[in-house]
């Protein structure tokens, strides 16, 4: 009988993902070797022109895109 209640779906409020923390570019740069496995100079190149705080995932996306570009 206990199995009837266990099969109920969780309410939507409990399944929503919490918003990811945003960090300043300076904070991300300080920890770039540990977070992204890149040097600070690579981080500087990838983040050139970016000033707004971003999540670690957003920064990773920017870095990956920048590393994929061909040099002019």
- Report the chain (72 residues): mean pLDDT per 10 consecutive residues: 55 66 97 97 97 97 93 76
- Residue 7: the pLDDT is 53
- Residue 33: the pLDDT is 97
- pTM higher than 0.85: no
Exposure string over 40-61, b if 16+ CB within 10 A, otherwise e: eebbeebbeeeeeebeeebbee
- Residue 14: the pLDDT is 59
- Residue 66: the pLDDT is 96
């Amino acid at each position: 009988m206990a199995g009837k209640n266990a099969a109920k779906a969780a309410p939507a409020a409990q399944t929503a993902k919490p918003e990811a923390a945003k960090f300043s570019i300076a904070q991300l740069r300080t920890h770039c070797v540990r977070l992204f496995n890149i040097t600070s100079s690579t981080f500087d190149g990838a983040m050139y022109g970016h000033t707004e705080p971003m999540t670690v995932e957003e920064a990773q996306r920017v870095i990956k895109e920048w590393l994929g570009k061909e040099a002019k």
